[in-house]
Structures are given as structure tokens and as C-alpha cells.
Amino acid sequence: MARITVVGSGVVGQASGRGFLAHGHDVTFVDVNPSIVEKLQAEGLQACFPDEVNWSAADLTMLAINTPTVDGHIILDHLFGAVRTLAEGLKGSSRYQIVVVRSTVPPGTTSTTVRSLLESISGRIVGDSLGLAMNPEFLRQVSADQDFLEPWITVFGTAGPTEAGILGEMYADFNAPIVAVDCTTAEVIKYANNLYNATKISFFNDFHRVCQRLGIDSEVVGRTVARSAEGMWNPAYGTRGGWAYGGACLPKDTTAFYEFAHEKLGMELPSLWGTMRANELIGGGSTAPASMHEVVPTDVLISDAKESASHAAHVAISGALASEFVDMADDGKVGGPTGLNLTIEPALILNEAV
């Protein structure tokens, strides 16, 4: 059992803390919002304000702090403030503790600014008496508790093998594939995950406008493409960077349809324009092979497809399918040695695809 302090008890913080509680860990929730602290205490949970925490008592402190975007710029002040408070509380203690960034942050934030603040203020060194990790979340607001308890994947980046071993052991009981990488890679995975979802929504919104102009049912088009396009049902399709799309169909059809929409319908299709522009920028690389089987073993393709289909069915049955329309703006506000036998899926496996 690990002693865990969760700083920032919004949607992500509460789902994470409750999930670890369900697996037998000792969890203390921390927040600056009195209503949140009082609500958690009323439920019989350990909850307090930052100035009431014994920071050195935890085995792991998880920072689930809101990092909003304001006027196009990400605001990290709340996160860095929490890091400073934690670091002050760790002064004079030599007890090993892992600091885990759960917030969404720009690549490099954990290994540079967060690490620098922790070491300079606490006087402790990452890799010695202090561990550092980045553990992005893939939770949906409408089903956050369930998503944490039944994850489709777990990703964490660490500064060293000790942190990877401890986190691997903690997450092993959740029975999901584990991808263990460095902190910056974990940060990028989180953004790539969200940006892909946003891009997909924008693409189908563009085609919804086209269908409206043509007087046809966009829902029929969308539902059919979800079953016909290989990029929809093959989880590995298109995920190996460095390959421009090529072949007999994709280059000519993207150009032709963009011209049709612009000239015949008088419409802008920014998602399609961006697609063609991205292909131009990567054009110096190699064109993707005609078949996935040229670069990925058949058994890997089959396994990936089965896992993806199984997860999609589970999500559909759970009824939590509308999360892309949910505002997560109020999420997570906040004013050693293991020797374990772990089965951790290497990140390389996720890259063996086109």
C-alpha cells in the first residue's frame, strides 16, 4: 500500500484518488477550494488544505492541477505554485518520494521547470531521495471514475527506473497495457491524443457542412465512413510519422475534392487544406508502403485490431460517448527500491505501424 497525496481535487484528482483508494492505497486529497474539501470530508475521505499537509509523509504526490489556456497561452502558475509549496514541505526530509505531474503541460515542462523548482527549493536531488514522473490522464468528465478504474491504456514518463518500477507496480492491478517512457514523451503523447480527437471532430464538421450544401444526410456519411475507412477500424493505420500519403487514390482525391468544394460549392475546407499542406511538408520523406503488411507483422496488426474493437465495444456499452462535447475547464483546481516483476509494454511497440 502506498501513501498518496493528490493535489488538485477536481475531476481528474478525485477520479485518480478514488481509484487508488479502491485498490487499497492510502489517499489524502488536497485543494484550496473549501467546498471541495468539505464535500470530500463529508464523504469520509481524507481531505485538507495545502497548509495542513505533512508533505514528507507521502510515498507519492500527484499534481492534478488545472492548466487553462487564456488568450492562446497556457497558464502554469497554479501548477508551479503547487510545486513550490510541495518543495518547501520536503525540505529537511530524506524520505524517498515520487512527484507525479498529472496535469497537461507543454513538452519539457516536467523535466525542466518542475524538476528545477523541486531541486532548488527542497535541496533534494531527483534520482537520489526524490523521484519525478509525468502520468498523463485520458479521462472523460462524464465517466472519469470508471475510466480510471477500467483504463484502456496507462502511460507514464519517468526520470529513472525506480519511478518506473513503482508506478508500474501500482498500475499493474488495473489490467491495461502500460507504456513506460521518459517525461517529455509522455507529455507529447497526451497532446497528440487530444489534438487527434479535435482534428477528427473538425474533419467531420467540415464534411457535415459539405453534406448540408449538397442536401444529403451527414450522419449517414459519417457512420458509413466509420466502417469503411481503414483509418477508422485499423488502429495502426497512419500512426508512423515520416511517411507522406501516396498511392493511386489519396493524393489525387484530396486535391480534386478540395477543388470541387472551393470552385463548385464556394466553401473553405480548412481541415482538408491542412492535410494537403502537411503532406507537402513531409514530402521529403518516403511515401508510405502500399500495404501495412510490408512493415508490420500480421499477428501484430490482428492483435491491435482486436484490442481496439474490444475497447470500442466496451465504451459503447458504458454509454459514455459524448465526452468530446463536455467542458473540462473546471478540472483539478488548486489555489524506493522495488525489485518487482513487471510486464510493461515498450513504447516501441506503439511505433511499429504506418
pLDDT digits (tens, 9 = 90+) for 167-183: 999 999 999 999 999 99
Neighbours of 171 (CB within 10 A): 22
Closest CA to 109 of 147, 148, 75: 75
Catalytic residue among 48, 183, 211, 249: 249
Distance (Å, whole) CA 13 – CA 28: 11
Distance (Å, whole) CA 17 – CA 36: 14
Mean pLDDT across the stretch 101-130?
97
Which stretch of 218-222, 249-253, 305-309, 345-349 has the lowest confidence by average pLDDT? 345-349
Mean pLDDT across the stretch 28-45?
97
In eight-state DSSP terms, residue 126 is B
Mean pLDDT across the stretch 3-19?
97
Residue 328 has pLDDT above 60, yes or no: no
Which stretch of 28-42, 273-287, 333-347 has the lowest confidence by average pLDDT? 333-347
Contact at 8 Å (CB) between 139 and 127? no
pLDDT at 20: 97
Mean pLDDT across the stretch 25-31?
98
Q: Per residue in 186-208, pLDDT tens? A: 999 999 999 999 999 999 999 99
* Placement of cell 505531474 in the chain: 101
Q: Higher-confidence residue: 111 or 319?
A: 111
Q: How confident is the model at residue 236 (pLDDT cuts 50, 70, 90)?
A: confident
Grid cell listed for 334: 488548486
Mean pLDDT of the chain: 87
pLDDT at 311: 64
Single-letter code of the amino acid located at 83: V
Contact at 8 Å (CB) between 104 and 332? no
pLDDT at 283: 77
The 3-state DSSP class for residue 140 equals coil
Summarize the chain as % helix, strand, coil (round to 5).
Answer: 50, 15, 35
Closest CA to 98 of 144, 167, 198: 167
Buried b (16+ CB within 10 A) or exposed e, 112-126: ebbbebbbebbebeb
Residue 102 has pLDDT above 50, yes or no: yes
pLDDT at 351: 30
Grid cell listed for 164: 518506473
Distance (Å, whole) CA 31 – CA 332: 9
Contacts of 58 (CB under 8 A, 6+ apart): 3, 4, 5, 28, 97
* Placement of cell 500500500 in the chain: 1
Phi, psi of 118 (to 5 degrees): -60, -50
Whether 249 is catalytic is yes
Mean pLDDT across the stretch 318-339?
41
3-state secondary structure 62-112: EECCCCCEECCEECCHHHHHHHHHHHHHHCCCCCCEEEEECCCCCCCCHHH
Distance (Å, whole) CA 309 – CA 1: 34
pLDDT at 237: 83
Distance (Å, whole) CA 96 – CA 85: 17
pLDDT at 261: 97
Q: What percent of the chain has pLDDT over 90?
A: 71
Contact at 8 Å (CB) between 63 and 79? yes
List strand residue ranges (DSSP E) for 171-328, in order.
178-181, 243-244, 286-287
As beta bridge partners, residue 6 has 29, 62
As beta bridge partners, residue 157 has 134, 181
Residue 330 has pLDDT above 80, yes or no: no
Q: Higher-confidence residue: 277 or 297?
A: 277
Computed on alpha carbons and rounded to an integer, the radius of gyration of the chain in Å comes to 23
Q: Higher-confidence residue: 301 or 131?
A: 131
Neighbours of 166 (CB within 10 A): 24
Q: Per residue in 287-318, pLDDT tens? A: 666 666 666 777 877 777 777 667 666 655 55
Residue 345 has pLDDT above 50, yes or no: no
